[in-house]
Amino acid sequence: MTMEATRYEDGSISYPGHPRGPGGAEPVDTIDLSEYTAEVVTWTTSTATPPGVREPNTLAIVEFEIDGESVRTIGQLTTGDVETGDAVEPVSVDELREPGEGIREPESQNWDGYRFNPI
Share above pLDDT 90 across residues of the chain, in percent, rounded to a whole number: 71
In a domain, 1, yes or no: no
Q: For residue range 60-86, what is the model confidence (pLDDT) as tens digits?
A: 999 999 999 999 999 999 999 999 999
> What mean pLDDT, rounded, does the chain reach?
90
- If one counts the domains in the chain, the total is 1
- 96 or 22, greater pLDDT: 22
**What's residue 107's pLDDT?**
67
In a domain, 4, yes or no: no
Kindly give the pairing relationship between strand 13-14 and strand 4-8: antiparallel
Answer positive or negative: Cα dihedral of 12, 88, 31, 96: negative
Residue numbers of the domain that contains 86? 37-118
Average pLDDT value for residue range 76-105:
86
In a domain, 98, yes or no: yes
In a domain, 69, yes or no: yes
In a domain, 31, yes or no: no
In a domain, 44, yes or no: yes
In a domain, 9, yes or no: no
